[in-house]
A and B are shown apart, each in its own frame.
Chain A
Amino acid sequence: MSAHLHAEHDVHASGHSRRGYRIGVALAIILTVIPFWLVMSGALPDPGVTAAIIFALALVQIIVHVVSFLHLDTRSEGGWTLLAFLFTAVIVVVTIGGSIWVMYHLNTNMMPMPMPDRSVAQ
């Protein structure tokens, strides 16, 4: 089995087991349906909890797609695809998370500014 997978890998990065692909398809559908259902039905009373759940599901779905559709594993291309992916993931988290974090606090601190009488805090 493992030798079979390895042989396919030598030809191109795509030849993985069809079983892994089918599991990926099933998971992708489930992980897409749940967040849409949660938001469209308003099943949970707290939007904050719903938001946390849909972001967590999106993260899981991205990993499912990368593993079962893009066939990322530790062995393909001698591990270079995984290394490039992890590097990209770090930059993506820093870019998106960092921007939103910094700008949120900037906005919060800028809040009193439009009101002239409260603008001179220090």
Chain B
Amino acid sequence: MTDHALEPRGAAVTWHHVGDDAHDHGANATVLGFWIYLMSDALIFASLFAMFGVVSTAYAGGPVPREIFDLPLVALNTALLLASSITFGQAIPHIEAGRVAPTRFWLAITGLLGLAFVGVELFEFSHLIAEGAGPQRSAFLSAFFTLVGTHGAHVTVGLIWIATMLVQLGRHGPSGEMKRRIVCLSMFWHFLDIIWIGVFTFVYLYGVLR
């Protein structure tokens, strides 16, 4: 019994070892932690997709997807986001090799493509609202603006992150911390492109089909 009373100390020692181990692989621990964050973010989007799926035909006598979705515009947006994912992939070997100028170049291109994506999306939203197809029109449109808007908000956060990296690369150079941050940002950016696959398939293409 008295031995058991000592257990918390034993557990503390064990915990300390785990901590040491994580410290030795600091970058990996961050990448794994960031991966877990991305997975939890995927669950947020899963609930938004589920909500959209449930009310996607609740038009309340309002406009249906076929009338309001402009597929060429969606195709343009999809191309912009996919292109930005590809250009981010071009930056990674440069930051791995510690080359600041080409890293900043490709990050800037990625940021401009992302900015164009957000711009097109805001244009689409304002166009819909002007047509009377705003989020208050029907459950379908509420769910549409929530899902697509949440994705757009994520991309906007990604743009702020890219701008921050561009500034910090100039100040700190290709340090270990900067490499870690840019690798996490690349995971975030690619993740948003993956969410967009679900959006353009489930919301736009499938919406127009039925």
Q: Which residues of B lie under 8 Å from residue A87 when comparing CB positions? A: 39
Q: Give the total number of A-B pairs whose CB atoms are below 8 A apart.
A: 132
A interface, by DSSP: helix, strand, loop or mixed?
helix
Interface residues of B in 72-99 (CB under 8 A from A): 72, 74-75, 78-79, 82, 85-86, 89, 92-93, 96
Min CB gap B71→A, angstroms: 5
B interface, by DSSP: helix, strand, loop or mixed?
helix
Chain B, interface size category, equals 35 or more
B13 located at the interface, meaning its Cβ lies under 8 Å from any Cβ of chain A in the complex: no
B27 located at the interface, meaning its Cβ lies under 8 Å from any Cβ of chain A in the complex: yes
Residue of B nearest to A56 (CB): B201
Task: Report the separation of the CA atoms of residues A91 and B50 in the bound assembly, to the nearest whole angstrom.
Answer: 11
Cross-chain contact B50 with A100 (CB below 8 angstroms): yes
B28 located at the interface, meaning its Cβ lies under 8 Å from any Cβ of chain A in the complex: yes
Interface residues of A in 65-118 (CB under 8 A from B): 65-66, 69-70, 77, 80-81, 84-85, 87-88, 91-92, 95-96, 98-100, 103
Min CB gap A103→B, angstroms: 4
A43 located at the interface, meaning its Cβ lies under 8 Å from any Cβ of chain B in the complex: no
Task: Report the separation of the CA atoms of residues A12 and B93 in the bound assembly, to the nearest whole angstrom.
Answer: 12
B113 located at the interface, meaning its Cβ lies under 8 Å from any Cβ of chain A in the complex: no
Min CB gap A50→B, angstroms: 6
A39 located at the interface, meaning its Cβ lies under 8 Å from any Cβ of chain B in the complex: yes
Interface residues of B in 164-210 (CB under 8 A from A): 179-180, 183, 186-187, 190-191, 193-194, 197-198, 200-202, 205-206, 208-210
Task: Report the separation of the CA atoms of residues A32 and B39 in the bound assembly, to the nearest whole angstrom.
Answer: 23
Residue of B nearest to A60 (CB): B197
